[in-house]
Amino acid sequence: MDKFVVRGGNPLLGSIKVSGAKNSALPCMAAAILTEDEVVLENIPQVRDIETERRLLASMGAEVELGYGRAQHRTRIKCGVLSDPVAKYEIVKTMRASSLVLGPLIARTGIARVAMPGGCAIGGRPIDLHIKGLEAMGATITQEHGYLEARTNRLRGAHIVFDKITVTGTEDLLMAATLAEGETVFENCAREPEVTDLAALLTAMGAEIEGAGTSTMHVQGVTKLHGARHRINPDRIEAGTFLLAGAITGGDLNVDGLNPAHLGSLLGKLEQAGVRLDIGTDCVRVRSGGSLQATDISTEEYPGFPTDMQAQFMALATQAQGTTTVTENIFENRFMHVGELNRMGAHIAVNGRTATIRGKSELQSAAVMCSDLRASASLVLAALVADGETILDRVYHLDRGYERFEEKLRSVGAQIRRMGDVFAKK
Ligand code: UD1
């Protein structure tokens, strides 16, 4: 298992480029299931979850070419025949977003078998709302041997009110509705930019969708979708992580190729914390504005503060003067980074959904363990300002969602290197 070795102390200086959004790319790749034509996606990040999705689609009989036409970030998918409409457990267990194939599979083939995702480190993460929605659209769903099996002749339009806002649930059912008979109305939808990105691709494929990016969407089902070419949005979470890396190290960093409109809540919090920001049309420059001030956050659905930035913001809070409270409202068990940050010298106490961070702490290097994707990023941020050399174990969590993370950070002055597991290779 690879490790990162990080020596803290260097301010990050220069410019860093953001990759395409993993969380847009995953549903967009799943959308290719809806047509027998070719779908070409640009700006696909080269991260492990994308490779997992490629394996998933290929295992069903799709042709998937990553790095198509010599363009590293272009992907061509052709789901001509889906000989085996099954999402196997071996693949689903490593990536919960695999449940995104449920809706498009049943809509296209009338049958889908998808392994039930297991428990996940950041909470239960059920898919009951995906199931309830498909049932409302006329699918019969049974569960056997750890698999969900969904069947229908043709899905029909329905009026679906989500009990709770769910990002992949909205995406999954939106895809299903594009090929359903009649109109589907969704209420209480997720409004994340990733949903809007998916809706743009589906529209380019011939779907009829109104209201993407708002809480209510109307979808007129069509009988067939066709191929399309689409460019994936920049990754707002990767962008936000780099902005925090610039801020925490007191550097002068330009984060390029992002969409500032997708980062509103984070940028507002950074300004409140005393960080200087120059916001351009597709870049944000972050500079130290003196000492950081404690700024409370509370995670919410978009456009609120993203849960996927909570762990990284907590690393920043350890360097702010005063007491910060961080409330996690989306996932019940998303504080696993706290123990590791405390081992590095932070003062964080957790009570239920709220963490209280007392700053500023002089962080020290330690051997720490990554527990999930964003927790890993949080520990790297802490290590960038810690005294000495921090060793982060299990960086495979980070590799699921950040493209060449250590190379990008190194290019702006961070002392970070990857170390393969010498014992594993023997
Ligand atoms: C997506 C993102 C993830 C992000 C999360 C919240 C992808 C691939 N992943 O995850 O990075 O952290 O949104 O912004 O896009 N829930 C149910 N029943 C369901 C579905 C969800 O109760 O059927 C609950 C979840 O347990 C959670 C909340 O709804 O408490 C939000 O989860 P959801 O938006 O579905 O997260 P994901 O789509 O899995």
pLDDT in tens, 209-236: 999 999 999 999 999 999 999 999 999 9
Rounded to whole angstroms, the Cα distance separating 236 from 239 reads 5
Please provide residue 63's backbone torsions phi and psi, each rounded to the nearest 5 degrees: -95, 125
**Which of 91-95, 129-133, 175-179, 249-253 has the lowest average pLDDT?**
91-95
Q: Tell me if 77 sits within 8 A of 29, measured CB to CB.
A: yes
Taking the CB of residue 119, how many other CB atoms lie within 10 A of it? 11
Task: Using pLDDT thresholds of 50, 70 and 90, give the confidence band for residue 421.
Answer: low
pLDDT in tens, 382-413: 999 999 999 999 999 999 999 999 999 999 99
**CATH, range 22-231:** 3.65.10.10
pLDDT at 426 exceeding the cut of 50 = no
Q: Is 331 in the pocket of ligand 1 (CB under 6 A)?
A: yes
pLDDT at res. 425: 44
Where are the chain's structural domains? 3-19+234-425, 22-231
pLDDT at res. 410: 98
Q: Is 127 in the pocket of ligand 1 (CB under 6 A)?
A: yes
Rounded to whole angstroms, the Cα distance separating 326 from 349 reads 10
Which residue of the set 28, 79, 120, 283 is catalytic? 120
Do the bridges between strand 75-78 and strand 38-42 make them parallel or antiparallel, or are there none, so unpaired?
A: antiparallel
Q: Is 124 in the pocket of ligand 1 (CB under 6 A)?
A: yes
Q: Which atom of ligand 1 is nearest to the CA of 49?
A: 8
Task: Using pLDDT thresholds of 50, 70 and 90, give the confidence band for residue 124.
Answer: low
pLDDT at 120 exceeding the cut of 60 = no
CA of 349 to the centre of ligand 1 (A): 25
Mutate to test the pocket of ligand 1, among 24, 53, 161, 166 (most ligand atoms within 8 A of CB): 166
**Which of 92-106, 195-209, 327-341 has the lowest average pLDDT?**
92-106
* Residue whose C-alpha is closest to residue 133's, from 183, 181, 170, 182: 170
Maximum alpha-carbon separation in the chain: 63
CA of 321 to the centre of ligand 1 (A): 33
Taking the CB of residue 399, how many other CB atoms lie within 10 A of it? 21
pLDDT in tens, 21-59: 999 999 999 999 999 999 999 999 999 999 999 999 999
Q: Tell me if 305 sits within 8 A of 196, measured CB to CB.
A: no
Average pLDDT over residues 257-286: 98
CA of 307 to the centre of ligand 1 (A): 10
pLDDT at 423 exceeding the cut of 60 = no
Q: Is 307 in the pocket of ligand 1 (CB under 6 A)?
A: yes
pLDDT at 92 exceeding the cut of 60 = yes
Q: Is 126 in the pocket of ligand 1 (CB under 6 A)?
A: yes
CA 371 → CA 65, 132, 141, 374, distances in Å?
31, 31, 33, 9
Q: Is 360 in the pocket of ligand 1 (CB under 6 A)?
A: no
pLDDT at 79 exceeding the cut of 90 = yes
pLDDT at res. 121: 61
> Mean pLDDT score of the chain, rounded to an integer?
94
Rounded to whole angstroms, the Cα distance separating 380 from 320 reads 17
Average pLDDT over residues 2-22: 97
Task: Using pLDDT thresholds of 50, 70 and 90, give the confidence band for residue 126.
Answer: confident
Rounded to whole angstroms, the Cα distance separating 215 from 210 reads 11
Q: Tell me if 416 sits within 8 A of 380, measured CB to CB.
A: yes
Please provide residue 14's backbone torsions phi and psi, each rounded to the nearest 5 degrees: 125, -150
In three-state form (DSSP H/G/I as H, E/B as E, the rest C), the secondary structure along the chain is CCEEEEECCCCCEEEEECCECHHHHHHHHHHHHHCCCEEEEECCCCCHHHHHHHHHHHHCCCEEEECHHHCCCCEEEECCCCCCCEECHHHHCCCHHHHHHHHHHHHHHCEEEEECCCCECCECCCCHHHHHHHHHCCCEEEEECCEEEEECCCCECCEEECCCCCHHHHHHHHHHHHCCECEEEEECCCCCHHHHHHHHHHHHCCCEEECCCCCCEEEECCCCCCCEEEECCECHHHHHHHHHHHHHCCCEEEEECCCHHHHHHHHHHHHHCCCEEEECCCEEEEECCCCEECCCEEECCCCCECHHHHHHHHHHHCCEEEEEEEECCCCCCCCHHHHHHHHCCCEEEEECCEEEEEECCCCECCEEECCCHHHHHHHHHHHHHCECEEEEECCHHHHCCCCCHHHHHHHCCCEEEEECCHHHHC
CA 265 → CA 5, 245, 305, distances in Å?
31, 17, 5
Q: Which CATH superfamily is domain 3-19+234-425 in?
A: Enolpyruvate transferase domain (3.65.10.10)
pLDDT in tens, 346-379: 999 999 999 999 999 999 999 999 999 999 999 9
For the question of residue 79 being annotated catalytic, the response is: no
pLDDT in tens, 135-192: 999 999 999 898 999 999 999 999 999 999 999 999 999 999 999 999 999 999 999 9
Q: Tell me if 209 sits within 8 A of 174, measured CB to CB.
A: yes
